[in-house]
Structure 1
Amino acid sequence: MAVMPEGTPCWVDAMFSDVEGAKSFYGDVLGWTFGDASSEYGNYTQAYSDGKAVAAVVPPMPGQEGQSAWCLYLASPDAAATAEKIKDNGGEVLMEPMRVSDFGTMSLARDPGGAVFGVWQAGVHEGFEKIGEPGAYAWAEVFTRDPGKSDPFFPAVFPFGAQQVQDDNVDFRVFGIDGRPVLGRMAMTDDFPPEVPSYVNVYFAVDDCDAAVERATASGATLRFGPVDSPYGRFAALSDPQGAAFSVIDMSTTQGEVPGMADVS
């Protein structure tokens, strides 16, 4: 695939204390296969679906052990310039842009609402080789406790327009590029335990949501929500055996009308 437009979700990875356990789990649930660990790059190991790169897993670096979490990377033509925008708009750069051989340049950041995300300036590694098909990345949402800080931040850093869902029961916003939705923003309610921080929830596509949930829970995952039908697909939210939150969605099974949206950008 070609280099993705600025702000487009282009890659996901996660640190796992038990990498072999993670490989076994996601192999069972999403059908992933895995390449060889790259010892030169901290045993970074790519995951594949139908032979196409879709994600990566890696053991934590010394001192970074903790609960596992998926990290979403947004594409940037200039990671250093994006890092400066992040700082200028109230975000925090957790890891300054670092070149990874000829693969590309990466950075890690936290938005003012507390959600951690990555920035990727592509080199020979352009990102996902498969999107929106079973076994691959499908969608992501910033779950934030402070939408008043997150909402102005992302369009200031990336070329996003924004639309607000017209529904009194949910505070949901969609960021888009040239009218194409690329990232959601969900305001966290009191339904979330207070110890759960703001985070980015990654959705992986599956061909049968209920079957995927059954495989996941049989392999040690915790079902957090669903499965439920929506206008965008049947989905469920889970935590894997090492605590990393993710969702699965069958986008071929939809129900209901797409809600109205209002431009807010």
Structure 2
Amino acid sequence: MTEARGSAGPNGETHARHAPGTPCWVSLMVHGLATTQEFYGALFGWEFRPGPQQLGPYARALLDGAEVAGIGQLPPDRHLPIAWTPYLASDDVDLTAETVRLCGGTVGVGPLDAEEAGRLVIGSDPSGAVFGVWQAAAHGGTAIAGVPGTPAWHELLTFETASVAKFYETVFDYEEEPVISADFDYVTLLIDGRPVAGIHGVGNYLPRDRGPHWMTYFEVADTDESLARITDLGGHVLRPAHDSEHGRVATVADPEGARFCLVQSPR
């Protein structure tokens, strides 16, 4: 994780257009849409309104009227891992999809239009980690950042960074900033010199039931208070709160098992 918090400032001002390659949206597909909305509504103060329905029932989460994330419902017969998925911005999602394939990745859904909102692809990198690509039209993506209840950072957990970082660099034209360390395998991905995401090679510490996957960090006002609330709401604490150079961080899961991190930024 790095100090970057996206393209909005510390007071939560809204985004302009998301530069290609920038994480611009995060979405979760679950079996219990209503109960999941209740969980995140109580945890982050989100409210919900209907979004595009191409992939089934779907709602957008709003914080003080600004869109921050999406939650959709899986068909009953689809038993996919329940996970938050980041969407990376693209000016041409069809071209990006073709580049993903040429670079050894897989396109599982799309390209397809999401009503008037935009055009999307859901794919995976060569290690199997799932991500989305979004070409904005009426829906620009996450509209606020830097305040509690908003996505703060996106990090890929994988076996090792070298090969998969090359994939993302080629597809999205990132610059790389590796950590020079014998025992810490980490690469920060930058656009125009600005950190936008990270890749963390964790080797055998990667959860066997998940494989490589993207992890979303959500900003909170108080990590410890949020952990107590998560437990009360039926979620689970996977890694207790600890202090880091980026703030107080914890890893948790919602009632359906979707993992995410909480971060209370340094004051």
TM-score, structure 2 normalization: 0.90
- Equivalence for 1:211: 225
Identify if the C-alpha distance between structure 1 residues 154 and 41 changes in structure 2 by more than 3 Å, giving closer, same or farther. Answer: closer
Task: Identify the range of structure 1 (94-103 vs 144-153) with the bigger mean alpha-carbon deviation.
Answer: 144-153
In the alignment, does 2:206 pair up with 1:188?
Answer: no
Shift of 1:194: 2.4
Q: 1:118-165 CA deviation, whole Å, 9 max, x = no partner?
A: 000000100011112111111010111243331110000012000112
- Equivalence for 1:121: 135
SS at match of 1:114: coil
In the alignment, does 2:205 pair up with 1:197?
Answer: no
Q: Is this contact kept in 2: 1:14–1:71, CA < 8 A?
A: yes
- Equivalence for 1:241: 255
Shift of 1:41: 6.1
- Equivalence for 2:34: 20
How far apart are the structure 1 equivalents of 2:53 and 2:208? 38
Shift of 1:232: 1.3
How far apart are the structure 2 equivalents of 1:98 and 1:89? 21
How far apart are the structure 2 equivalents of 1:229 and 1:137? 19
- Equivalence for 2:80: 66
SS at match of 1:26: helix
Identify if the C-alpha distance between structure 1 residues 83 and 195 changes in structure 2 by more than 3 Å, giving closer, same or farther. Answer: same
5+ residue gaps in structure 2? 1-14
How far apart are the structure 2 equivalents of 1:180 and 1:38? 31
- Equivalence for 2:60: 46
How far apart are the structure 2 equivalents of 1:94 and 1:38? 19
Q: Which has the higher contact order (CA 8 A, sep 6+)?
A: 2
1:72-83 → structure 2 map (5 Å cutoff): 72-83=86-97
In the alignment, does 2:168 pair up with 1:162?
Answer: no
Q: Is this contact kept in 2: 1:113–1:146, CA < 8 A?
A: no
Shift of 1:226: 3.0
**How many percent of aligned residue pairs carry the same amino acid?**
35
Identify if the C-alpha distance between structure 1 residues 223 and 47 changes in structure 2 by more than 3 Å, giving closer, same or farther. Answer: same
- Where in structure 1 do 4 or more consecutive aligned residues deviate above 6 Å? none
How far apart are the structure 2 equivalents of 1:39 and 1:157? 28
Q: 1:146-195 CA deviation, whole Å, 9 max, x = no partner?
A: 43331110000012000112333321110000110001001123233423
How far apart are the structure 2 equivalents of 1:19 and 1:169? 41
In the alignment, does 2:164 pair up with 1:143?
Answer: no
How far apart are the structure 1 equivalents of 2:60 and 2:181? 39
5+ residue gaps in structure 1? 254-265
Q: Is this contact kept in 2: 1:136–1:205, CA < 8 A?
A: yes
In the alignment, does 2:237 pair up with 1:223?
Answer: yes
How many matched pairs?
Answer: 253
Superposed CA RMSD? 1.6
- Equivalence for 2:191: 177
Letter in 2 for 1:136: T
Letter in 2 for 1:47: A
Q: 1:180-239 CA deviation, whole Å, 9 max, x = no partner?
A: 000100112323342321100001111111111111122122211231111111111111
How far apart are the structure 1 equivalents of 2:224 and 2:111? 40
